[in-house]
Structure 1
């Protein structure tokens, strides 16, 4: 208890000095770009109220409040120690395989709120700013970014590296500064997301009156950032999109969603009774299933114009609700489930176009071996084919095109097939199948889950053609068949039997370095599944504890007398055996627990 008290006191002191730095620093906007630029709007703090109401199959409602921050897209800036937007000098991203670092901790402590472009639209590419990522996304949607020279992002910022954003809103404006399109980043509780692009239309033709004096201003002291106001031609704008993401554990992946928006840059949308944003879910039979309404708790605030006392009161009132958003959502879901109102659905694999959960380092490390396997199969295929491979979108955005050698001689008869794993766990599962036939029969099988019965873990445009490519007779090899003693000892341990998988056979014919890397990865994966409940982080904790125990044994043996050292070593070995026995028992108990 004493140690816990010290830890809490230390945390309180750190947060206190963190808050003091925010309040005492000058809150002037400083542009991080050397070039003059023109943006729409300015950084604003939006205290929001979210009201959720369900109509079908049961009636239920709840509300939540959170803080959203709006930033002009393309503006890289800092506002004192309060807000950092696309500050490339900060180390806000933790690469896979790297743990805690002082530099990253100090980066998060340098600003109360931060926007990291790597979290938005497609994951990664932290070297790009928000505007560059937006332009890339629009081009992927076959849209011309020049249609929308202005954009404004409303999202949940990071606080000490933590952020839980259910939806992020991108408002796209034309050259005439009218809202014309929207991008909704939908994030579910399973770390999955889908980016929805939609054109919006006016609900009415009555334009809002914009004060002339507020249309243009400079945001910084050096007159490099020119801000213009929006010029809406309607009070409301509307758009519709098809629901293709497992957004709620109580909903199926079907139906339509209609949205109605107000321009967030106009003070009329900040009134407590104004419908800042409405979202209505409509079932396949046309019934209204649920509706959400978002309103402003008060006017949007310009942080550069707030006094220290106003800012202190605001941060204490609105920072915590944002941190507790996930806990609030989980609580409401459990309440609905355990009161018998509705039953939770099993999560389905994502559909094409969606982004799966973040991949683990093991999954990313195994992907090149599967890619090499596909390339080898295509290279040896005797007919002209073109295989388009889309690596799992949770960590890659590239598209790989592979062509068989006969394509050069017969380009007019090329057959095409596309393959896309929807789940990063595919790369670990694929290493466990004895044959490619078994792998395809399993991975291509529709899940039959209630929320999305046709969902699959592997998406293939032509299953028969893919099976033909991967089952080519020239690929039938078994490098271990001639001499079973050549089977690496590691295989007989990490498999449940001595039978090798087809991926083992393929990699065993490659160069020694690749073989060593592959078997090291799959051995680690076996450790994770056997002892750490499938969690790489938990295995890391085991490794840390084991290394501490080993160091203690070595130190004891060096510092104690011979008899005492032998006794200490025996005790340490007994403790090590007990430790790994407990780990084994916990892993078995964990599997039984998660089975039910």
Structure 2
């Protein structure tokens, strides 16, 4: 400034006065921008909104930012950090994986193998259709833990993330126990999960001390696995049973246990000729069972399967002879409908014996197969629907023996609330009763047993009931009901999202009560739960099975003239001192109810609408900030 040196002690005073003078001239635009920014981020703003505002402001001042970058001459630095450095790191990691020759020593039975295969499907009824594709599976002994020459890993501890692959802890093809049988991770890995499953089937795991898993492994974290085969062996190392673990495209899962009928095999051998008896027979498992799981949208859930599977391992579980598995599907009337095969194509490869060239060649030839499995399924489905004209069977809710899909974020939040609420109801029940609660779709959510306060250790009159949630959609449907009693029996008998072994005991848990008053601790809680009460409406019944050939019937649900009120679970949440629980519950329920009103019940669509609203709000805030900035320039 004229007449004032930079060393003058009056300089800060003068600069402050100049700033105040500018603020007084442009106080309206500055105050509006500051107020709008503060109010928005106080109530609904998130980190993404801040980044959007900064992006819009930066876009408006792009010329100034460009000039700054040019003055810094960052071209060479950007090329080095953005291209050369990442390429060098990735190349180093790739070469490190190829050159990795460290293999965990395995002293058990069986060895890890890479198994190039082919899968064929032949549809016989009601329209003929067939296809054949290359397929890659791996075989690992159940109990093996470690990394086999950088090609196959199994039971590796820690989360399955890109970092674990990048650092080389996991091999190119990884068998993660969290992907199999019961949801979630276990410290004892695949063997522990297998033992739990067998015990749930009332089978002693000691009958099958050895097991070998054939499955489509993860490749760099990606996983799509329609079916896995657990080959179970006796103490004498003889193939005795198979567990088929079937997954559908909806994330649901159904394991089937098929045991070998040794008595029938002896009967067949007794009727064979002497020459046939002298031929060494390869062990096989043959069996059949009723279908009770939705796999293909072009087949109903009725019918039956039959299996014929050969032992992939050599005598005494040594070596590898290849896989040969055939599954037949028949209709409920006995018509053959589908024949599916999975068989080896070429020799299986043992990772420990693979050199650098062989590993590189194998990866280049097979890395893509797992990524195209789902697109291949979609392609064949399109042919069946558009060209063959087959009807589509819409997915029914899973049955008791199946595992439901994984829960979304809202369902996870509501499961935690429902668990606490159910525990509260059982403890408050005047009847001596114990409840075994089995959740659905939430990884790490364990089964739990609740007891009423009238149950004592010495009580012999306590009744027990098991409540199993079949699909996580139950949690989002339950909060739509104002009456617990109606909710449980509607979901049990009509929509089939719940299974109870003794339904007659439910009235002792879900008691009919008067409408609870709304006693909120804060005005904001009062407004939120009043809004929940106003938006609540009974969900429509889930009708199954339905096909694309059925006419969509108009809803026959009459007008519910009851006064929808705050539910008992609402009152339970309000009465808790846990602020986090209240916030999580009201946010989840309001999101569901708003989705019903403006997004056709789809929370993902509501999320897209919310993102659009946030972009618009951020643009408005950025415009106000830009206007204030121009006032100072």
Q: Same fold (TM over 0.5)?
A: yes
Q: Call closer, same or farther: CA 1:313–1:403 in 2, change over 3 Å.
A: same
Matched, 1:383 2:431: yes
Write the mapping of 1:149-548 to structure 2, written as runs, cut at 5 A: 149-201=209-261, 234-266=282-314, 276-392=324-440, 395=443, 398-408=446-456, 411=459, 413-447=461-495, 456-472=496-512, 475-480=513-518, 488-493=526-531, 497=535, 499-513=565-579, 514-526=581-593, 534-535=602-603, 539=607, 546=614
TM-score, L = length of structure 1: 0.75
Matched, 1:57 2:123: no
Aligned residue for 2:509, secondary structure, equals helix
| Number of equivalenced pairs | 509
Residues of 1 paired with 2:299 and 2:94: CA distance? 41
Structure 1 residue 16, shift from structure 2 partner: 6.0
CA RMSD of aligned residues (A): 4.0
Q: Counterpart in 2 of 1:582?
A: none
Residues of 1 paired with 2:261 and 2:130: CA distance? 29
Q: Call closer, same or farther: CA 1:14–1:195 in 2, change over 3 Å.
A: farther
Q: Counterpart in 2 of 1:30?
A: 104
Q: Call closer, same or farther: CA 1:564–1:277 in 2, change over 3 Å.
A: farther
Q: Structure 1 unaligned runs (5+)?
A: 1-5, 32-36, 94-101, 208-231, 448-455, 566-596
- Choose 299-308 or 185-194, whichever is displaced more: 299-308
Structure 1 residue 19, shift from structure 2 partner: 4.1
Q: Counterpart in 2 of 1:228?
A: none
1:124·1:395 contact (CA, 8 Å) conserved in 2?
Answer: yes
Aligned residue for 1:125, secondary structure, equals coil
Matched, 1:120 2:180: yes
Q: Call closer, same or farther: CA 1:297–1:533 in 2, change over 3 Å.
A: farther
Aligned residue for 1:49, secondary structure, equals strand
Q: Call closer, same or farther: CA 1:545–1:161 in 2, change over 3 Å.
A: farther
Q: Call closer, same or farther: CA 1:532–1:341 in 2, change over 3 Å.
A: closer
Structure 1 residue 296, shift from structure 2 partner: 1.1
Structure 1 residue 531, shift from structure 2 partner: 6.4
Aligned residue for 1:153, secondary structure, equals strand
Structure 1 residue 91, shift from structure 2 partner: 3.0
2:292·2:302 contact (CA, 8 Å) conserved in 1?
Answer: yes
Structure 1 residue 166, shift from structure 2 partner: 0.6
Residues of 2 paired with 1:342 and 1:275: CA distance? 32
Residues of 2 paired with 1:342 and 1:488: CA distance? 53
Q: Call closer, same or farther: CA 1:12–1:109 in 2, change over 3 Å.
A: farther
2:156·2:169 contact (CA, 8 Å) conserved in 1?
Answer: no
Structure 1 residue 380, shift from structure 2 partner: 3.1
2:112·2:148 contact (CA, 8 Å) conserved in 1?
Answer: no
Q: Counterpart in 2 of 1:138?
A: 198
Which one has more relative contact order, counting CA pairs under 8 Å at least 6 apart? 2
Write the mapping of 1:566-585 to structure 2, written as runs, cut at 5 A: none
Aligned residue for 2:132, secondary structure, equals strand
Q: Call closer, same or farther: CA 1:152–1:486 in 2, change over 3 Å.
A: closer
Structure 1 residue 46, shift from structure 2 partner: 0.6
1:45·1:303 contact (CA, 8 Å) conserved in 2?
Answer: yes
Q: Counterpart in 2 of 1:575?
A: none
Matched, 1:20 2:95: yes
Q: Call closer, same or farther: CA 1:163–1:177 in 2, change over 3 Å.
A: same
